[in-house]
Every structure is written in structure tokens, then in C-alpha cells.
Amino acid sequence: MKPMTVSSLPVATLGLPRIGPKRELKFALERFWSGQIDEALLQNTAAGLRAANWTRQEMAGVIEIPSNDFSLYDHVLDTSVMVGAIPPAYGWQGGEVPLSTYFAMARGAQPGPANACGCGAATPAGGVPAQEMTKWFDTNYHFMVPEFRRGQTFALASRKPIEHFEEAKAQGVTTRPVLVGPVSFLALGKSADETLDRLSLLPGLLPVYAEVLRALGEAGAAWVQIDEPCLVLDTDERTRDALRLAYETLAREVPSIRLMLTSYFGGLGESLDTVARLPVAGVHLDLVRAPNQFQAALAALPPDRVLSMGVIDGRNIWRADLGHLLDWIEPVVAARDRVQIAPSCSLLHVPMDLESETALDPELRRWLAFAQQKMHELATLGQALAGGRESVQAALDDSADAARSRRTSERIHDKAVAARIEAVTPVMSRRAKPFAERQAQQRQSFALPAFPTTTIGSFPQTAEVRQARAAHTKAEISDADYEAFLRKETEAAIRWQEEIGLDVLVHGEFERNDMVQYFGEQLAGFAFTKSGWVQSYGSRCVRPPILFGDVSRPKPMTVAWWRYSQSLTDRPVKGMLTGPVTILNWSFVRNDVPRSVACRQIALAIRDEVLDLEAAGARIIQIDEAALREGLPLRRSEWQAYLDWAVESFRLCSSGVGDATQIHTHMCYSEFNDIIEAIGAMDADVISIETSRSKMELLGAFSRYRYPNEIGPGVYDIHSPRVPDTREMVDLLGRARERLADGQIWVNPDCGLKTRKWDEVRPALVNMVEAAKALRKTSGQAAK
Ligand code: GLN
Ligand code: ZN
């Protein structure tokens, strides 16, 4: 640990964005994967980003600076690799894990000698799919799900935490390395063998953790931040036993290392007492999400433990009211020796720096803080606590001013929106007819074959598409030229879909930068950044809109593109919208009204669009709710309240249409067994859903709940460059037919295809159409 300076209280960060302020890592990764740069150059870029982050934190006045928060793809994948939890399919033979194996786990690998990830190493014949990916708690960050098997052994297989510690040290920064804790690592994993109790693997895993801690100690680390975010979930006695075992073992085996046990995204709840008694040197609490746990934590935590107060919101971009925070923290610091000030969680989930956002409205900009500004807020708090408020008076005054201006600004409150919300009646959230009657009308109107084929919406966003968009944004090409280009792309996509025989077409979404941003940009109440990128998975980043005020839709958003696309073909083209819950969940949301209220405002705006599409002639309208599940509160006791308003919002936006208009929705996650009733309650005529990565695992839900409407369980994992063959898809559909009636089943990929290349998409969709045709031949025989 660095010597504590007298002028400040220890200020910590728990992790920084790793993608780079200009997404340098993204571009390096993608060049590497496509064979344009070699591993050395990729590693060089990565090292540069780490160095810059360490410097950035030092300059800002952060005392406890993390290392090993950086990852080339995902920190949970890093952990699997660190402990050698690598499924046999990846062909790892022991020893240091090569980058080719790492990326095969992340992205899958094509068969044959030339590896799809561009690293040249041979891959197992037949190729291998990527590990499963899922959302990191209730964020839009995705992690690679660790995979365990019976008899799983662990061995140190990557020294990355130690290497990065040494790298920082060589730069003159003694860091506090971050590790995903052993209990969360096991708890977040999965096993093909459902009877395997993952926590039973803990005794085998702990020696590897001890080895890492020991090596870190030898390298000069005094503290290690160990993340156990699973503690904010509902935990049982088994988990708490595991926790005791883990930290008692590590304290005994490596007494020289002081652990900062870190949880975030919620309160410790029933785990609080256990945590307070663990033999760790410090405990970090998320006091933004769970301020209520503070008094109890204060009482339970022995005075010799360092208390890390997570008071700056790591999940949102609003500036803190520092004076207000000090009112709260000052008495704690006065009464207690060992206190640190920190963000609520890693700053991974906010953009790097507001500085470059010169185009933002100045009034709004004053209300915001990104990672860089949050570090300054922390440093200001630290200084005020050590040297008195006067020592940072100007900064405190400025913070108070900004908070006041936000509370009273007229840019935020729109009377017309309030009036519309008032006027919403229950009838507005119900389709006029029950599903069976709608289905009969829709069948007559569309005359689709059995097992109709469709895609989720987007087609590859090629370099050409992205370049054209960038050139248009920079005004290098005219509106008319850009429009002509998009029309050409759209027309080609429509023609190609007709050619390969898809039944329900999409326009390809070439005009969209992102499924949420595209709508946010056209809605009142949203603002956008130029480079406020946040990592979503691997090299993929999003720029979440900032929902700062009341929402309304000044004019139609998608009707012109739909109309053009439909004019090109006789087959139905879906109108394609993003749903209110997803827009909400993928935005940085105002924190001055409940989320349910903000969501309902968006629902009314989307409803306007749905009705305009229908009026223009659209007979199928898809409203994506990709992010519905990730908005679920982490504690089950809070689920129903969320689902109630989320489902209600979806229904409010979708229920204004006639019976014959077919409403589709799409969700891209497979773990929906536990909310299947709520998904049924959305009453979409058709839902498409991710299932291929988990090999149709979701269908388990249908043994206890009969999904009433139509459903397309995804048969093509679009997160991987791998092209599935027809037989594989027929197989997956065969499994679906064991649980669903033939008349319910649609055939589609897992998700949109924007991140894929045409070379991957073309053969995959041709195979998919073949699979549907194969099924049609057998239809009726296998139906239940
Ligand atoms: N319609 C969107 C697309 O195809 C859906 C994406 C998503 O669900 N994430 O890109
Ligand atoms: Zn999806």
C-alpha cells in the first residue's frame, strides 16, 4: 500500500474501463482477430492502455489503484483461465494457456488448420463453440460463464494478476490487484451435470487462489481486492459456509496478504453478519444501491477492519452532491479509524471521460460525471475529510450548484407528458382479442408455411456500412448520398432474403447505429455522447443514451424505412422497434423519478410508433425487449414489482394494434425459466429467444408452464463466428418439438446479425432455411 498522505483520506477505485478512451482495445482486438496485426502488437496496445489507466488514477489523486482489472476480453474468463478451468473441448494440454485457447473460449473456433480467431494455432477438428455468455448481474456487461465438470481439478494456468502487478510496479505504481473471489467464481459458473454441487469444488480451488496471493505478496502486494458480488444475491447457508471456508483458508495460508472483500450492486442482506466476521482486513460496501445496510454494517464490522464506503455511483453518470455526502461520511470518519472512500463498484460500467463531450448541452453536461470525473469527486471527498471542507470549498460549491440546477431545471419536466401519463387507462394495455382469435386471423392473413423462418432484425454492419455512417456523421457525405447507400444495402438484403427463401423479412437495420441509441436520438428527454463508450462484451461497446428528462416522440422514427423496405417485396417485412424496458435498461436513467415512471413514458412514445407503423401498412411489428431480464432486481423478493411494471409497459406500447397485426418480441438470453409466466403475460403473438448456446436449456420451463403463444427458440448462436450446419439446427429444433407444438414453432437465429460477417451469415441462414424445410417434411408426424 502507498503511504497515506496527510492531506487526504485513502481513496480507492475498484476498477476502470479497459476498452480505452477511444476504444483502442476494441480496434486492436478486431485487427488481431482478422489477422491484420500480430499478438505482440495486440499486447502492446493492451499494455499501453493499462499504463495510461494507472497514470490517470495517480494524477487524479487515487491512493488505492487496482491492477488486474484489465482484461483482453472478460475478467471472469480470465479467472477460468487463471485457475485452469478449461473444458476439454478447447484442447488445452496444461501449462500457460495460449491466447488462441483464450479466444476460442471467448468466441468459438472454426474447424480446420486456420484458426478463426486469427492466431494461427490449430483448433480441434470440427471446431468448437464459445463458452456461454451471460449478463454480469444487472448490468449490460456480459461475462463468459465458467464451466465445471465432476472431478474438476484446478491449477494455476495464467500468471496475469502477478504480471500486471509487476508491470504497474515497474511504472512506479504499487497497486491493489483485483481478483474475482472463489465463491462468486464457482457460484457464477455452470455445469452440464446438473447434480454437480459447484461449491463442493471450493477445496480444490482454494490452493490456486492461495498460490496467486502468495505470488502477489512476493511481488510486493500488501492488499488484494477480492470481489464477491454474489453476496448481494439471495444466499443460502451453503454459500455462507463456503465463504467462511474460503476466507479462513486464505487467511491461514497467506496471512501476509490483506484482503479487501468487495461486494457491489446491492446490499449484503442476510450475509452481512457472516461477512463481518470473516478474517479479512477490509470490507467494501455498495452504499449507493444499498445505503440502508450502512448502520447495520457499521455495528457489525469490528473496528480493526477497514471499511470501504462505496459512495460514488459506479453505475450511473450523475454527478454526486458532495456536500450532502460529506454530511453523512464525516461523522463516520470521526468515529472510526479505518475508512476508505470508493465508488460503489468498478467504474467499468461508466464511460471514461466527460472532457471530450464538448457537443453536449452545457447545462446537462454540468450534471454529469464519468469515470475520470468520479475519481476527482472521490479525491475531493478524501481531501475534505482529511483537510476540512474549506480546503476544497470551490469544488464543493460547484457540486452543490450543479445539484441545485438539476433539481429545478425546466429542461427536465414536460407538462404534456405528465398529462398523458395521467390519462392512461387499463384498457390501453390489453389486446382487444385473446391470442387464439388473433392467431386465427393472422394465419389467414399471412399464409405462412409451418416452421416459418425469420431473422431478428439486423444484418452485418460491414466496414462499408460503418464507414458510410462515420462519413455521414462527419458530414463528409451528404444526407442524400448516405440515404442512397442505405437504400442500396437494404434492397440487397431484401433480395437476398427472398432468394434464400426466408418467410418473414427484415430490412436489416443498416441505418441504425445501435438498437437503443437509434431511438433515443429521436426521442425528447434523451441526450447522447460522442465517445461515452461502455463495454458490453469482448470488443463490443455501446454508448448508452442519457435519459435525463420526460420522454416524448416528436415524429415517426422508423416508418419511412419500413415503407421503403416493404415496397421492395411481396413477403411481409417486420416493423422493427426497441421496447420501453430495453430502452430504459440500456440507458443511463435519471435518478429523480422511479424507473417505472420513466419506463411508462417511453412506452407511450413507442406506442405512437407502433400505431404509425400499423397505419402505414405494417402487419408484423417486432418490439425487442432484449434487456427485460437483466432489469430484474438481484433479490428475488423484489422481482414481482419489477415484472409488473415492465410487462405493463410492454403491453402499453404494443396493445393498441388490431387483431390481425402480429406483434413479435425478441429476447436475447436463455435463462428465462424463472420468469416465463411474465413473458407469457406480455402476450406478444410471437417471441424469438436465445437458446442455442445453452442447447435449448430453456425448454425445461415448458414442462411446468405451457407457453401459450408462438415462439422461435434460436437455432444459430450469433455470438460466435462459427457456422452451424443444417443437421445441428434440425437437432435443436427436434428438442424444441419435444416441448412445443409444431404450430407454435418459428425458426430463427438467437439474435441480430449485426456483429457477424456476411461470409458467416450467408451459409448459416441458408442452412437454417434448409433445417426448416427438413422439418416441414416431417411436420404432423412428430407433432404433439
Ligand atoms: N433487432 C435487433 C437486432 O437484430 C435485436 C438485437 C438484440 O436483441 N440485441 O439487432
Ligand atoms: Zn437478441
Per-residue pLDDT reduced to its tens digit, 50-65? 999 999 999 999 999 9
Q: Whose CA is nearest to atom 10 of ligand 1?
A: 752
Q: Is 630 a pocket residue for ligand 1 (Cβ < 6 Å)?
A: no
What's the average model confidence in pLDDT over 718-739?
Answer: 93
Whether 62-91+139-408 shares its CATH topology with 415-778 is answered yes
What's the average model confidence in pLDDT over 299-324?
Answer: 97
Torsion angle (degrees, nearest 10) of CA 512, 514, 519, 524: -120
pLDDT surpasses 50 at 123: no
Contact of 261 with 184, CB cutoff 8 Å = no
* Cα 64-70-73 angle, rounded to 5 deg: 160
Please name the helix (run of DSSP H) or strand (run of DSSP E) that holds residue 480, with its range, or none.
Answer: helix 479-500
Q: Is 665 a pocket residue for ligand 1 (Cβ < 6 Å)?
A: no
| pLDDT score for 672 | 78
Which of 164, 284, 507, 719 is labelled catalytic?
719
**In terms of CATH architecture, what is 415-778?**
Alpha-Beta Barrel (3.20)
Q: Which three cell numbers stand for residue 481?
A: 448520398
Distance between CA 6 and CA 361 in Å, rounded? Answer: 39
Q: Is 576 a pocket residue for ligand 1 (Cβ < 6 Å)?
A: yes
Q: Is 626 a pocket residue for ligand 1 (Cβ < 6 Å)?
A: yes
Locate all alpha helices (DSSP H) within 655-757, ordered by sequence: 676-681, 726-739
Atom of ligand 1 nearest to the CA of 754: 10
Per-residue pLDDT reduced to its tens digit, 452-481? 999 999 999 999 999 999 999 999 999 999
Atom of ligand 1 nearest to the CA of 456: 4
Q: Whose CA is nearest to atom 3 of ligand 1?
A: 752
Q: What residues does the ion ligand 2 have nearby, CB within 5 Å?
A: 626, 668, 751
What's the average model confidence in pLDDT over 76-102?
Answer: 96
Residue 11, phi then psi, degrees to nearest 5: -115, 130
Segments of 556-601 assigned E as strands: 575-578, 588-589
62-91+139-408 topology per CATH: TIM Barrel (3.20.20)
C-alpha neighbours within 13 Å on the C-beta side of residue 353 = 13
What's the average model confidence in pLDDT over 70-85?
Answer: 98
Distance between CA 184 and CA 194 in Å, rounded? Answer: 18
pLDDT band at 118 (very low <50, low <70, confident <90, very high): very low
C-alpha neighbours within 13 Å on the C-beta side of residue 587 = 32
CB atoms within 10 A of CB 199: 20
Contact of 292 with 267, CB cutoff 8 Å = yes
pLDDT band at 540 (very low <50, low <70, confident <90, very high): very high
pLDDT surpasses 90 at 312: yes
Could you tell me the distance, in angstroms and rounded to a whole number, from the CA of residue 567 to the centre of ligand 1? 23
pTM: 0.89
| pLDDT score for 780 | 58
What's the average model confidence in pLDDT over 172-199?
Answer: 96
**What are the boundaries of each domain within the chain?**
62-91+139-408, 92-130, 415-778
Q: Is 599 a pocket residue for ligand 1 (Cβ < 6 Å)?
A: no
Could you tell me the distance, in angstroms and rounded to a whole number, from the CA of residue 206 to the centre of ligand 1? 40
For residue 142, indicate whether it is catalytic.
no
**pLDDT-above-90 percentage for the chain:** 88
Distance between CA 221 and CA 162 in Å, rounded? Answer: 9
pLDDT surpasses 80 at 400: yes
